[in-house]
Amino acid sequence: MIFGLNVKRVTMTETSNIPQHIAIIMDGNGRWATERGQERSYGHQAGVDAVRRITSECTRIGVKYLTLYTFSTENWNRPADEISALMGLVLTSLEDQIFMKNNVRFRVIGDTNRLPADVQQKLRQTEEHTAANTTMTMVVALSYSSRWEITQAMRNIAAEGITDITEETISRHLTTNFMPDPDLLIRTGGELRISNYLLWQIAYSELYFCDTYWPDFDEKALHKAIESYQNRQRRFGKTEAQVENEE
């Protein structure tokens, strides 16, 4: 019984209701490393291993879009050595194996002009090299924040002289205009906030928070998040009875 309602729980293996688009705030790398007496960069490296695991599993179960919050605009305020280590990880982790083996297309969103030139070049090369892959699209949010994105969209709309502005107008001018909004947003690491991530796009996303640090987030943890999603009723403003009658 959930919130007093008789709801039959299902497991991920019993249904084909897999989220088309999963967005993840990959939190907890630094704390994971600190608890092990290591530098924060050690946690970020372990986080890359988690990305490989989750990417492979998402392609296997049929997820079409996986968006990963990798580096926010606010993260530029972190210590210079940590930023340097993170940028180095971007260069070394964008490997053919993770994309070509799983037939994954790579895309990037964010204020990439702020990134080092060699990182920008690597991002462009990876996007071009994987453009024909079709099983899933991995989107990396790098030097990204939602307020930055919305501000840029408003500036572009104003520059184009558009006066009849609708929700569709705004969505079309966002950096995410090539993909559907997330069905499920996952945040690891125990924090209960959105941290300036896809604020427009997650208006009707299901939210899932867990205490697991990102380096420890594995296939079982992913399945648990998806099962939570599958046991919810997405109503989009309608009543429970209306949704049930449509099923």
Which of 53, 24, 17 lies closest to 220 in space, CA to CA? 53
Per the annotation, the verdict on 75 as an active-site residue is yes
Identified catalytic residue from 17, 29, 75, 196: 75
Which of 174, 163, 183 lies closest to 232 in space, CA to CA? 183
Identified catalytic residue from 27, 29, 102, 183: 27
Helix count and strand count (H, E) for the chain: 9, 6
Residue 104, CA atoms < 13 Å, CB-side half-sphere: 30
Per the annotation, the verdict on 27 as an active-site residue is yes
With H, G, I as helix, E, B as strand and everything else as coil, classify residue 240.
Answer: helix
Cα separation of 182 and 206, whole Å? 8
Cα separation of 223 and 140, whole Å? 21
Q: Which residues are known to be catalytic?
A: 27, 75
